[in-house]
Chains A and B, each alone.
Chain A
Amino acid sequence: MSILCDKNTKLLIQGMGRMGRLHAGFSKDYGTQVVGGIAPGKGGQEIDGIPVYDTVAEAVKDTGANASVIFVPPPGAADAILEAADAGLDVTACITEGIPAIDMMRAKAALRGSSMRLVGPNCPGVVTPEQCRIGIMPAKITKPGPVGVVSRSGTLTYEAVDQLSRLGIGQSTCVGIGGDPVIGTTFVDALALFEADPETKAVVMIGEIGGSAEETAAEFVQSNMSKPVVSFIAGQNAPPGKRMGHAGAIIAGGQGKASDKMAALEKAGVAVSVSPAEIGETLANHVPELRP
C-alpha cells in the first residue's frame, strides 16, 4: 500500500515544455505509466513517444488516466488545475512555482466539492518508491518501506529521504506539499492519509517557518494519530519580515516562528530534530523497531 499513487496510476503530463518533457522521461524510466501529455494545439502528435492531447478531458477518455502532473507556467497554472479536476482525475500535483495567491485561492475555493486531490503548487510532487513518480523528485534516493514523508520543501524532502534510505529505512510514499501560502493537500490531509495507510508505520513531517500549518498538524497528531511522528522545522535562524525563498516562508508580526512550531509539535508528542542532519536518526531513535 501507499498513498496518492501506486503502480496502477496512469499519469498525464500537463505542459509539455522543456521541464515537462524531461520529467515525463524520468518518470517513465522509473516505471511510471505515463499515458499522455497535454499541449493545446498539438493534439494527435507524439512527443518523445508520449501521445499528445489538446485537452485533459480527451486524454482521460482515450487513456483512462487518473492522475496528472502540472508544469504549466504561472499565468495558466490555476486554469490547468481546474481543468484536471473537471476531467475527473483523482490526483494532480502542480509543480509550477510563482502562481499568484489570488488565483490559487479562487482555484482552491472552486475545488471544494471536487473529489480530486491537489498536491502543491510549488512542490516536488509525489513518489511511491519503485511504483510511481509524479513530479520532479530524484526517485533514485528513495527506498520502499514503512515511513511516510511529508514536507513543505522540495530539496529538504530529498535530504530527509536520503537520511532515511542511508539508515536502511524505506518510505511508503514521499509527498512534497509545497511552500506556497495556499496549497491543495495540507499536512493534516497527508497525515490522515498516512494514518489510514496500513503499510505506513511512522511519519516524517518537514515543516518550515511561516503560517500555522505545523501548529494545526500538531493538534491533529495529538487527537487523531496513533502512529509515531518525527519532525524538523527549517528556518530556526530566519530573520523576521523576510521572505525566505518560498512565498509562504515568512515570519510576520511575530507569527510563524520555528520555535513556536517546534514547541507545539513536541507538546503533541512529536519527536522534533533540532539539527537538519539528524532527521533520519531521530526517527530511528524514536521508533527503534524500524531500524534494520
Chain B
Amino acid sequence: MNVHEYQAKELLREFGVPVPDGVLATTAGEAERAARELKSAVCVVKAQVHAGGRGKAGGVKIAKGPAETKQAASEILGMTLRSAQTGPEGKVVRKVYIEAGSDIAHEYYLGFVIDRASESFAIIASTEGGMEIEEVAAKTPEKIITVYIDANVGLQAYQVRHIGFGLGLDGAQVGQLETFLRGLFRLFQEKDASLVEINPLVVTSSGDLIALDAKLNFDDNALFRHPEIAKLRDPDEEDPRERAAAEIDLAYVGLDGNIGCMVNGAGLAMATLDMIQVCGGSPANFLDAGGGADKEKVQEAFKLILRDENVKGILVNIFGGIVLCDLIAEGVVAAARELGIGVPLVVRLQGTNAAEGRKILAESGLDITPAETLREAGERAVAAVRGAEG
C-alpha cells in the first residue's frame, strides 16, 4: 500500500527522522495560511499524488511568501498531473503539501527495501540524489553503496559508518546518519514497510541531514496488525476497479484489451493472459478469483469484469484444486441469468469436479462455449470476440 508524502513525513517525524516543517492544504486559501504559519522565506508547494516525477510534471513549485504560495497552490490544485509513473491518463491533484524551503548543499539517495535475493533488509545509498536509482544502477553502479541487514541481528554501527563515509559525509554527519537510519529501520520493522525511499536526502548548508522527499510503501499482508497504517489509504489514488476487487477479496488488474478474464490462481491467470496474446487476442484484465472462489464470488467477479466497457467477450479458466468446478459452474450460470452478460462467454473447467461442472453448463440452456484445454480456451475466446466485432 502506498501513502502520500505528507503522511510518510508524519511517520518519519514520529520515528525521529528529521524532515522539513510542512502543512497540508486542500485549497489555495489554506495554502496561504500554511505559508504564514511556517514563517519561512521560501515555501515549496508539492502536489500530493501517489506518483513520482512530480517536479518535471509541474507538480512542485517554489514560492516566496504567502501570496506566491497561494498562487502556486491554485495552479497545482485541480491540475491533472502526468508523469512517467501516472500513465497517460494522469492523476488529479486534490491536496498540496506546503513545506518550509531547505538550503541545500548536497543531495543523496537513500532507500530501504526487503531484498528478495539475500532475504534480508537492504539499505541502498548513493551520492546521486534526486535521480532515479534504477538509472544510477544502470549507468554508474559504482556510485551505489548497498548494505544487507540480517533480520535477526539488525543494523550495526559499522554498517552506518560504511554508508556515511562512503557517501563522503564528515564524522559529525555520520553521527546524524546513525540516528536517521536507526529511525528508518525502526519504522520499517514496527510498521511493516516494504519500501522506504528518501530521495533526496539532503545535507543543508549548515551541515544537517534532512529528508527532503519521502516515499513509503507498506506490506499489504501486514496491514491486519496496523490499523493506523491501513487508515492512511487514499481511495482517490487507486484504480476504482482494483479497489472494488480488493473489497471482495479478488486480485484484479485492469488492462487495455477486450477479453475479460476470470481465472483461479495468480500464475494460471497470468498464463491465461499470455495464452490470449499467443492466440492473437488482447486481454482486458487480470483477475485471480483465489482459492476460495464460490458461486457468490463468481457473480461478483462477472460484475467487475463487465464494468469495463471495452469487454467484448469473457473467458473463464478454472483449474480446480481447492476450488470446486461445480460450484464455479453454478456461479457462472447464475451470473449469466441474473446479470444478462450480453457478450460471448467461453468457459474452461478442469480439475476437481470438472465433469459435474461441465454438465451444469451444458444443461443450463445458456449460450456458453465450453473448452477442454488451455489452448482451446484461448482460441475460442479470441474467435468469439472477433465474431462479435464482425
Contact = CB atoms under 8 A, between A and B. Distances in A.
A211 B116 CA distance: 7
B375 A275 contact: yes
17 contacts: A100-B222, A109-B152, A136-B321, A136-B322, A138-B351, A154-B321, A155-B268, A155-B321, A209-B270, A234-B268, A234-B274, A248-B116, A255-B134, A275-B275, A276-B272, A277-B373, A277-B374
Nearest to B277: A237
Q: Find the residue from A22, A124, A211, A276 having the highest chain B CB count within 10 A.
A: A276
A156 B267 contact: yes
Interface in A90-117: 97-103, 105-106, 108-110
Looking at chain B's contact residues, the main secondary structure is mixed
A237 B165 CA distance: 43
A164 B314 CA distance: 27
Contacts of A97: 291
Q: Find the residue from A109, A158, A236 having the highest chain B CB count within 10 A.
A: A158
- Give the 7 A-B residue pairs with the shortest CB-CB distance, closest first: A153-B267, A245-B266, A155-B265, A156-B267, A277-B375, A100-B222, A276-B271
A245 B322 CA distance: 17
A226 B335 CA distance: 51
B268 A109 contact: no
Contacts of B288: 244-245
Contacts of B319: 138, 155, 158-159, 162
Contacts of B267: 151-157, 179, 206, 208, 234, 246, 249
Contacts of A239: 253, 255
A61 interface: no
Contacts of A235: 270, 273-274
B270 A249 contact: yes
Contacts of B85: 241
Nearest to B282: A237
A131 interface: no
Nearest to B265: A155
A185 interface: no
B151 interface: yes
Nearest to A215: B117
A182 B225 CA distance: 20
B192 to A, nearest CB: 6
Contacts of A140: 352
A123 to B, nearest CB: 11
B221 A276 contact: no
A127 to B, nearest CB: 11
Contact of A74 (B221, B251, B270, B378): B221
B320 A102 contact: no
Nearest to A135: B321
A285 B1 CA distance: 44
A234 B321 contact: no
Interface residues of B, number: 54
B116 A236 contact: no
Contact of A105 (B151, B275, B283): B151
A126 to B, nearest CB: 13
B220 interface: yes
B189 interface: yes
Interface of A: 19, 22-23, 74-75, 97-103, 105-106, 108-110, 124, 136-138, 140-141, 151-159, 162, 179, 181-182, 206, 208-209, 211-213, 216, 232, 234-239, 241-249, 253-255, 274-278
B160 interface: no
A88 to B, nearest CB: 21
B114 A181 contact: yes
B253 A236 contact: no
B150 interface: yes
A103 B152 CA distance: 11
A100 to B, nearest CB: 4
Contact of A245 (B114, B120, B189, B269): B269
A141 B264 CA distance: 17
Q: Find the residue from A100, A162, A253 having the highest chain B CB count within 10 A.
A: A100
A102 B278 contact: no
A244 B253 CA distance: 7
Nearest to A100: B222
Contacts of A212: 116-117
Nearest to B321: A138
A275 B134 CA distance: 31
Given A158-B350, A212-B116, 15 more contacts: A23-B322, A98-B221, A99-B221, A101-B221, A109-B120, A155-B264, A158-B351, A159-B268, A159-B319, A211-B117, A237-B274, A238-B273, A242-B286, A245-B269, A249-B267
B296 interface: no
Contacts of A162: 319, 350-351
Interface in B130-154: 133-134, 150-152
A147 to B, nearest CB: 18
A234 B270 CA distance: 5
A276 B220 CA distance: 29
A154 B116 contact: no
Q: Find the residue from B263, B266, B275, B373 having the highest chain A CB count within 10 A.
A: B266
Nearest to A246: B266
Contacts of B120: 105, 109
B170 interface: no
A278 B278 CA distance: 11
A140 to B, nearest CB: 8
A205 B91 CA distance: 40
A75 B221 CA distance: 9
Contact of A101 (B194, B268, B269, B277): B194
Contacts of B119: 105, 108-109, 182
Contacts of A109: 119-120, 150-152
B219 interface: yes
